Amino acid sequence: MLGAGVMGSGIAQVCALAGDEVACYDVTPAALDDARAHVTTGRFGLDGAVARGKVTRKQADDALARLTFTTSFEEAAATDLVIEAVPERLELKVRVFRDLDRLAPPQTILASNTSGLPIAAFAAATDRPDRVIGWHWASPAPVMKLAEIVVTSETSDSTIARVVDAATRCGKRPIVVKDNPMQWGFVANRVYFAMVREAQRVVDEEIATRADVDQLMMDCFRWPSGPFGMVAGAGSGWT
């Protein structure tokens, strides 16, 4: 796991609960301390999951035992599947994939949790384009079922099958979609931002307030949050 922010630490937690040995990497010990707190005592962490009866104490403890926090890029790369969750900057992610390609074992699959940057750009930075794939998670990772599996024309069938299997074991509902380098957002975020744009038009036209729009959409479509609530949650975390 590359990147130990709220998203990366949540992904690491889910994978460890699914039975995988996980090395969660970030550049500073302070970031890893924050990640460990998110995984253990955070709102969607393991302690809370035990308290809510979602997992047993033994399952939580076993998951923690499988989870290592490290500042060693090499350690995080030495695995069968790497999930990248560094900040959403194309040049940074391309550099990360180039470094991963150099350090990871030949059979390692390189996956990105990008929300919409082109997977083809990451694949082109490597000598293993058949083993580069998108695995887009939703926040909070321990709760949301989304597994948007994004493939390029070069992603191999075996890579797709292995990542779909991994997502299923993590309790997600994997859907395979095609990469489109000309459009940002794959499927979920393209539709999501179209909804947000229209909701903002309603507010700009003074038809309803943001709070009204959120409540109407929740009442009508049984959404857990309205469009503006979704924006706030994605930007600053769910409370």
Residues designated catalytic: 115, 136, 148, 189
Question: Using CB atoms within 10 A of its CB, is residue 34 exposed (0-12), middle (13-18) or buried (19+)?
Answer: middle
As a dihedral over the C-alpha atoms of residue 40, residue 15, residue 147, residue 1, rounded to 10 degrees, the angle is 90
Report the candidate in 18, 17, 14, 38 with the shortest Cα–Cα distance to residue 26: 38
Q: Are 154 and 129 in contact (CB under 8 A)?
A: yes
Q: Which residue has the tokens 């998203």?
A: 7
Alpha carbon distance, N-terminus to C-terminus of the chain: 25
Six-digit token pair at 108? 């390692």
183 vs 117, 138, 149, 189, 218, CA distance in Å? 9, 19, 16, 11, 28
228 vs 206, 235, 239, CA distance in Å? 15, 11, 14
Report the candidate in 147, 152, 107, 115 with the shortest Cα–Cα distance to residue 133: 152
